[in-house]
Amino acid sequence: MEKTFRITDEDGIHARPATALVNTANKFKESEAFAESGGRKVTLKSILGVLSLGLEKGDTLTLSVEGGQAAEALQALTDVMISEGLGEVHA
């Protein structure tokens, strides 16, 4: 399952929201979550990986989740994206 976002935060994805995303991904032990942007895919369980995407305002980011609880995990990650004011769902 996956969902694509457009980054709307002025600073792109920075340390605090990246921390929130990784912490959320880590809560779902049965699933593997990934972040993909600009042709690179990294595990969402690594803050350095997420920051290494160098996401800036206007970039698109695809979050994908595999394994158990995938739907719940993706929803929780979506909530973080929206509540942190990071991005909007990109149709």
Partner 1 sequence: MLKITGIAASAGVAIAPAFKLEHPDYTVKQQHAKDSSAELQRFEEALAASVQELEAIKERTQQELGAKKAEIFESHLLILSDPELLTPVRDKIANELVTAEFALDETAKQFISMFENMKSAYLRERAADMRDVTKRVLTHLLGVKYVNPAEISTEVIVVAEDLTPSDTAQLNRQFVKGFTTNIGGRTSHSAIMARSLEIPAVVGTKDVLSQIESGDLLIVDGLDGEVIINPAPELVAEYEAKRDRHLRQIEEWKKLRDLPTVSRDGVHVELAANIGTPNDVAGVLENGGEGVGLYRTEFLYMGRTELPSEDVQFQAYKTVLEKMEGKPVVVRTLDIGGDKELPYLDLPKEMNPFLGFRAVRLCLDRQDIFRTQLRALLRASVYGNLRIMFPMIATLDEFRQAKALLEEEKAKLVGEGTAVSDSIQLGIMVEIPSTAVLADQFAQEVDFFSIGTNDLIQYTMAADRMNERVSYLYQPYNPAILRLVKMVIDAAHKEGRWVGMCGEMAGDATAIPLLLGLGLDEFSMSATSILPARSQISKLFKAEMEKLAAEALQKRTAQEVVELVQAIKQ
Residue 90 is among the residues annotated as catalytic for this protein = no
Task: Tell me the C-alpha distance between 91 and 74, whole Å.
Answer: 16
Cα 81–chain centre separation: 7
- Residues at the site binding partner 1, with contacts judged by CB under 8 A: 8, 10-12, 14-16, 18-19, 22-23, 42-43, 45-49, 51-52, 54, 56-58, 82, 85, 88
Active-site residue, from 3, 6, 14, 45: 14
Task: Tell me the C-alpha distance between 64 and 16, whole Å.
Answer: 21
Cβ proximity to partner 1: between 42 and 62 the closer is 42
Instruction: Supply the minimum distance, in Å, between the C-beta of residue 48 and partner 1.
Output: 5
Task: Tell me the C-alpha distance between 73 and 75, whole Å.
Answer: 5
